[in-house]
Amino acid sequence: MKKMKRSFWIAGLVVLFVLALTACGGNGSNNQTGNSAAAGGSAANAAPSATAEVTLEPSSSPAAAESATRTIEYMGEQYTVPANAERIVITGAMEAMEDALVLDVHPVGAITFGGAFPERFAAITDKAESIGEKTEPNFETILKLKPDVILGTTKFKPEVVEQLKKIAPLIQVSHIASNWEANLNLLAELTGKQDKAQAAIAEYQADLGKAKALLGDKLKDKKVVALRIRAGQVFIFPAAVFVNPILYNDLGLAVPAEVEAAKAQEAISVEQLAAMNPDILFLQFAADENAEAATALEDLQNNPIIRKINAMKNDKTFVNVIDPLAEGGPAWSRVQFLKAAVEQLNK
């Protein structure tokens, strides 16, 4: 009898133990994920889920950060660009190169001349690779640089534009000098340097006010012309191109009929320049742009026909008052040319 009671007692304990294990097992199955995360169990620590990390902190994911974009507006067009446009390539747009100089922006790829960066861009090309010459972008190099944004030029042919658009968001920077503020503000918005851009614009406006007060009506009846020698030829520009907006719009000088008639950069002959007969002449001559006509400037200055024009006779011809490769229209050119030109015009 005692043995039978002991057997029933042992059997009861076994049943209770099995029921307890079953209950514990059920609870663990239903709350495995929550309990493991809360308690930091060994299974969770050994193999954390990648998708769980993204779900918990999507904003901190590198992939999410890379895909973040924003929309900016430039010259009436909207462009979708990365939220952090840190890798900028400049191709074709010398305007953007000059703006980078003003804003201290260091592109990862930039324009070279004869395979080298011009000395005046040394401050911003310290980390840059050559992506080709001004009119000859190297698509393979640009692709290799993985740019966030490409700043090209409005002068590019459609087929070049299409190739660049396949690599990264492309913004074509205006080559029209009167758009200099929009160009500068574009690069400033891309790089978060709006304060620097506004300071540069304010500096120019302040210098302009002083210049106009200094010159007064001194040049009221004078014909002032700015020309550029390229590939051995003399070129004239429309009133809205090169340094012309500074002379005719900002300083308020009279626009010569020949400048008014120019529809684009146009080559003029020695005879046409003589007939124009400017009282004051600004000439830009860069050796890099005249590789096959190295003596073009000297030949022009010594030409007996040109020596008879007023600017030559009165010693009012000024050569390279700023860097000969300067575009003339962007912020850097404007600040530099205004100071140098006023110094000469005030003599």
Note the pLDDT of residue 114.
Answer: 84
With a cut of 90, say whether residue 2 has pLDDT above it. Answer: no
pLDDT over 50 at 6, yes or no? no
Note the pLDDT of residue 111.
Answer: 96
Closest C-alpha among 279, 247, 271 to residue 260? 247
Tokens encoding 237:
């520009």
The set of residues, in sequence order, having a beta carbon less than 8 Å from that of 155 and lying 6+ positions away, is: 92, 135, 175
Q: What is the pLDDT of residue 45?
A: 32
Band the pLDDT of 265: cuts 50, 70, 90. Answer: very high
Contact 163, 144 (CB under 8 A): no
- All residues at 6 or more sequence positions from 27 whose CB lies less than 8 Å from its CB, including other chains: none
What domains can be seen in the chain, in order of their start residue? 69-196 (3.40.50.1980), 217-346 (3.40.50.1980)
DSSP state string for 131-173: EEETTEE-HHHHHHT--SEEEEETTS-HHHHHHHHTTS-EEEE
Please tell me the predicted confidence (pLDDT) of residue 66: 53
**DSSP label of 116:** B
Q: What percent of the chain has pLDDT over 90?
A: 76
* pLDDT band, very low/low/confident/very high, at 288 (cuts 50, 70, 90): confident
The predicted pLDDT at position 329 comes to: 93
Lowest mean pLDDT among 31-45, 95-109, 178-192, 331-345: 31-45
Residues in a beta bridge with 268: 234
Q: To the nearest whole number, what is the mean pLDDT of the chain?
A: 85
Residue 141 has pLDDT above 90, yes or no: yes
Residue 13 has pLDDT above 80, yes or no: no
Beta strand ranges found along the chain (DSSP E): 69-74, 77-82, 88-90, 109-112, 129-133, 136-137, 149-153, 170-173, 224-230, 233-236, 266-268, 280-285, 317-319
